[in-house]
Structure 1
Amino acid sequence: MNDLQERENWTSKLGFILAAAGSAVGLGNIWRFPYVVGTNGGAAFLLVYLVAIILIGYPVIIAEMSLGRNSQKNPVGAFKDLAPDTSWWLVGALGVFTGFVILSYYSVVAGWSMAYIVQAANGFTSDMEFANLFAGHITSVGEPLLWHAVFMGITVGIISAGVVKGIQKTVKILMPILFILLLVLVFRSVSLEGAEEGLAFYLAPDFGDLSWQSFNDAIAQAFFTLSLGMGAMITYGSYLSEDENISDSAGYVLGLDTLVAVLSGFAIFPAVFALGLSPDAGPGLTFITLPAVFAEMPLGTFFGFLFFLLLTIAAVTSAISLLEVVVAYIVDEHEWERKKAAQVVGIIIFLVGVPPLLGYSALSDFEFLGMDLLDTYDWFANTIFLPLGGLLTAVFAGHIWGARNTAEEANKAEGTLSVGNLFGILIKYVVPIAIGAIMIVGIWQTFAG
């Protein structure tokens, strides 16, 4: 192996856990999770989601980390190493491609969050038309393009610095800040007069609010929030030493990711109900409803600034894992120098993200099954690419490499947790069936609706 290909390893268990948790903690936790809970009735959906995280998310995250650690390769290299002379490497290639696509539009949405940090610092006032404010931002060209470039520049800079000096150093700083900001926002939200109604919505389940769509959304959210099916956990696992127990590490990552998602609900729903707004505002909950909440809240400018700073930090920790998947593939398989790979790929991803950014302005006439360009990118990524990658990874780990080999790799070092026969049943049967159902329902709903 030449100098260009020399692989780094995480220098501490904490560094790996924070990096993997940072990959999982992102816009999916703080932007997507609350509006999915809000549109599915609250507490009953939360319980279904927690079950899905344990039964679906935990086995897949163990499988991906184990594939990465055993092979010490990127997603493509991992499948080539564990199933030589077969076409299974295409599953890894799908993961690399998926990470590439998701980051292209993820950066656009993260750019909106960065723009709202500035907007919040200038102050949200009750006389603002927040729907018009958001529409005005995304239908312009210059400002969204600038923030998209800034966000990608930050992501490229971190990845260029390497696994230890870039990713690990960054998450050790950002993840504690993220938790502190989130706890401050939770305390402020639950202390508002009238917050009790929001707490009841979030904590007192009414199972009559559940539908089949709720179960589908819970499984999809569990899968999306853990960065599964895109090769991120395979890549991060490849930098993990054999002294670490993967069953333990996966449990910590799962716990931290779930904690952030649950806390984000405590930060949002009590405030929304306290000010008489609706929790089922959908994707607009973050950029339209919440600014209205901050406008009415005492010290709202300060807390609005903290919220969008929190959202941006979460976006950065996920974005670096998406870019790392692609860069690790190029460094390993094509022997590029890391900095060159990060910069070239970053520029290409930025350019691929321009069409969805313009989908609200210059390219607003584009339509795919009633969706604009950004939603089209997101539909293909989350309805086709991610679940297909996850399903095939589960099949590979359960049946091709084998559930026993996967479990042995996960349990290689001593730890508090270990996986056994139940893991085999889940990864071989339950996970593929559940993910397959997500795909079928998602595709059917799009074309039937």
Structure 2
Amino acid sequence: MKSQQELQISSKKTDRFSSAGFILAAIGSSVGLGNMWKFPYITGQYGGAAFFLLFIVCLLAIGLPVLLAELAIGRYGRGSASTSFVKAGGGKVWARFGLLQVLAPLMILSFYVIVSGWTLNYAVLAFTGKLFKNQDFSGQFTGFTGGYMNVVWQIIAVVFTGWVVAKGVSKGIERFNKIAIPGLVVLLVILMIRSVTLPGAGAGVSFFLNPDFSKLTPESALVALGHAFFSLSLGMGILITYGAYVDKRQSLGTATLAIGAGDLIYALIAGLIIFPTTFSFGIDQAQGPSLVFVALPAAFSAMPFGTIFGGLFFVLLAIAALTSAVSLLEVPVSFAMERWKWTRTKSVVVISLLVLIIGVPSAVSFGMVPGLTDLGGKSFFDWMDFIASNILLPLGGLTTTIFAGYYWKHAAEAAGLKSGWFKVWLFMLRYVAPVLVVLVLLHTSGIIKF
């Protein structure tokens, strides 16, 4: 008889997503916090709807081809983000390149769960009314992030994420996303309706939907491409890992379009929440995290039923954060189960502890440990974000495009595309995507500037 450990390890081969569950989980990985605080800033800076149209072009021309390649590699290889390249027919050297797509989500998760903890804390504060009792929202945020409760909520976010992943693919990740994503859609619609009906909201809607092509520059094209890449969770190993759990009967082309549509609709509705609200209350969109945790609470406190809408907003953010966190954790957990033959439970516990250990310096770099707040002009938190987002992710994406475009003999079979579409897909992977990914890497790392 097989031991319990052997049974749990072998279950990875049979624990699969359903068709709908896979698409919801993949959309959950792309529905994160970036579209709520980064997307409004870059959209406003680069021409409103003009930038949004450019973002759509990047999503269709580059994002979706790379997304399809990652899913195809994962399903064909049926391994972790590292070994799927080898199992799909590559040499052992590809496992080393694939390892980048295990390290990147591990590093991202170490600071992402910190922000996830912020959203959970603010959801509780908003619904209890404590958030709005003190109108010094900047002081509240600074005091929270610089104190020990920041670490406490980081731990809560890690524990919840680990609990979902420990339950497995179908009973954990899929079941969570089947509840979370529909709930997120409902919250998005409610908040969008509230935002566009605020006094003066029309100016924000007009700014977002009326293009200003004069602000488009070569830099804006790379920014749009970088955001499309990040928002689809490319180069993180997530889609390769999820692809390993997809049934062979699932059309990857259809799934790719559905995931891309989900990401695009989320970005659109996020814009229709943020821009009307910020214009209505005279808020500058270019504030990053402080937009969400300082400026918007002030706006909610000034609107009728603001406590309710503020609470719903932070619940929305918490759902978006946790669906992405679950996807990020599954990547190194899948690798640990395969590499060291650990059970899923052991893998989740060990990786979660590692995430906390790596993440604590980031959590205390907001003032608790002054030496970590300014390391060459960036905090420890910012350096982790910079290395993962601007270096590891583009390198991971480049690995996928080169492997699928030039090396992989089974690309046509794995992608399941008809001859005409396969030629278009292969052309994008060979001649367009690698060049643009390299340009994004050089731009985000500061090597080239416009």
**Residues 126, 297 of structure 1: alpha-carbon distance in 2 compared, 3 angstrom cutoff:** farther
Return the match for 1:55 from 45, 55, 61: 61
The answer to whether the 8 A contact 2:71-2:252 is kept is yes
The answer to whether the 8 A contact 1:394-1:431 is kept is yes
1:75 is paired with a residue whose SS is coil
Alignment of 1:393-432 (within 5 A): 393-402=400-409, 405-411=410-416, 419-432=421-434
Matched with 1:435 is 437
**Residues 362, 279 of structure 1: alpha-carbon distance in 2 compared, 3 angstrom cutoff:** closer
Matched with 1:314 is 320
How far the C-alpha of 1:279 sits from its partner, in A, is: 2.4
Matched with 2:127 is 121
The answer to whether the 8 A contact 1:8-1:163 is kept is no
The answer to whether the 8 A contact 1:39-1:279 is kept is no
Alpha-carbon distance between aligned partners in 1 of 2:92 and 2:160, rounded to the nearest angstrom: 38
TM-score using structure 2 length: 0.94
Alpha-carbon distance between aligned partners in 1 of 2:406 and 2:388, rounded to the nearest angstrom: 25
Number of aligned pairs? 442
Alpha-carbon distance between aligned partners in 2 of 1:418 and 1:298, rounded to the nearest angstrom: 55
Pair 1:361-2:363 in alignment: no
How far the C-alpha of 1:189 sits from its partner, in A, is: 0.3
The answer to whether the 8 A contact 2:40-2:286 is kept is no
Matched with 2:173 is 167
The answer to whether the 8 A contact 2:85-2:98 is kept is yes
Alignment of 1:226-245 (within 5 A): 226-245=232-251
Matched with 1:73 is 79
Alpha-carbon distance between aligned partners in 1 of 2:173 and 2:132, rounded to the nearest angstrom: 38
Return the match for 1:392 from 386, 389, 399: 399
Matched with 2:348 is 342
Q: Give the letter for the 1:145 counterpart.
A: V
Matched with 1:217 is 223
The answer to whether the 8 A contact 1:17-1:252 is kept is yes
Matched with 1:180 is 186
- Of stretches 259-268 and 126-135 in structure 1, the one that deviates more from structure 2 is 126-135
The answer to whether the 8 A contact 1:194-1:270 is kept is yes
Alpha-carbon distance between aligned partners in 1 of 2:38 and 2:125, rounded to the nearest angstrom: 21
The answer to whether the 8 A contact 1:60-1:390 is kept is yes
Matched with 2:92 is 86
How far the C-alpha of 1:84 sits from its partner, in A, is: 4.7
Alpha-carbon distance between aligned partners in 2 of 1:335 and 1:354, rounded to the nearest angstrom: 28
How far the C-alpha of 1:181 sits from its partner, in A, is: 0.4
TM-score using structure 1 length: 0.94
The answer to whether the 8 A contact 1:410-1:418 is kept is no
- Of stretches 158-167 and 288-297 in structure 1, the one that deviates more from structure 2 is 288-297
CA RMSD of aligned residues (A): 2.0
2:211 is paired with a residue whose SS is coil
Structure 2 residues without counterparts, runs of 5 or longer: none
**Residues 150, 263 of structure 1: alpha-carbon distance in 2 compared, 3 angstrom cutoff:** same
How far the C-alpha of 1:82 sits from its partner, in A, is: 2.6
How far the C-alpha of 1:102 sits from its partner, in A, is: 0.4
Q: In the TM superposition, what whole-angstrom CA distance separates every residue of 1:326-349 from its partner, at most 9, and x where no partner exists?
A: 011111222110011101111110
Return the match for 1:255 from 225, 250, 261: 261
How far the C-alpha of 1:174 sits from its partner, in A, is: 0.5
Alpha-carbon distance between aligned partners in 2 of 1:120 and 1:418, rounded to the nearest angstrom: 53
Q: Give the letter for the 1:336 counterpart.
A: W
How far the C-alpha of 1:400 sits from its partner, in A, is: 0.8
The answer to whether the 8 A contact 1:43-1:201 is kept is yes
The answer to whether the 8 A contact 1:110-1:148 is kept is yes
Matched with 2:311 is 305
Matched with 2:29 is 23
**Residues 389, 211 of structure 1: alpha-carbon distance in 2 compared, 3 angstrom cutoff:** same
Q: Percent identity?
A: 37
How far the C-alpha of 1:291 sits from its partner, in A, is: 1.1
Matched with 1:144 is 150
The answer to whether the 8 A contact 2:15-2:168 is kept is no
The answer to whether the 8 A contact 1:16-1:168 is kept is yes
Alpha-carbon distance between aligned partners in 2 of 1:64 and 1:294, rounded to the nearest angstrom: 40
Q: In the TM superposition, what whole-angstrom CA distance separates every residue of 1:293-348 from its partner, at most 9, and x where no partner exists?
A: 11111111111100110001011111111110001111122211001110111111
Q: Give the letter for the 2:414 counterpart.
A: E
Q: Give the letter for the 1:255 counterpart.
A: A
The answer to whether the 8 A contact 2:98-2:399 is kept is no
Matched with 1:208 is 214
- Of stretches 339-348 and 79-88 in structure 1, the one that deviates more from structure 2 is 79-88
Alignment of 1:266-277 (within 5 A): 266-277=272-283
How far the C-alpha of 1:122 sits from its partner, in A, is: 3.6
Alpha-carbon distance between aligned partners in 2 of 1:83 and 1:227, rounded to the nearest angstrom: 24
Q: Give the letter for the 2:421 counterpart.
A: V
The answer to whether the 8 A contact 2:188-2:270 is kept is yes
Q: Give the letter for the 1:35 counterpart.
A: Y
Alpha-carbon distance between aligned partners in 2 of 1:114 and 1:276, rounded to the nearest angstrom: 26
The answer to whether the 8 A contact 2:19-2:247 is kept is no
Alpha-carbon distance between aligned partners in 1 of 2:25 and 2:14, rounded to the nearest angstrom: 14
How far the C-alpha of 1:73 sits from its partner, in A, is: 0.9
How far the C-alpha of 1:36 sits from its partner, in A, is: 2.7
Pair 1:34-2:36 in alignment: no
Alpha-carbon distance between aligned partners in 1 of 2:94 and 2:113, rounded to the nearest angstrom: 30
The answer to whether the 8 A contact 1:126-1:295 is kept is no
Alpha-carbon distance between aligned partners in 2 of 1:396 and 1:445, rounded to the nearest angstrom: 25
Alpha-carbon distance between aligned partners in 1 of 2:296 and 2:217, rounded to the nearest angstrom: 27
How far the C-alpha of 1:266 sits from its partner, in A, is: 0.5
Structure 1 residues without counterparts, runs of 5 or longer: none
- Of stretches 277-286 and 265-274 in structure 1, the one that deviates more from structure 2 is 277-286
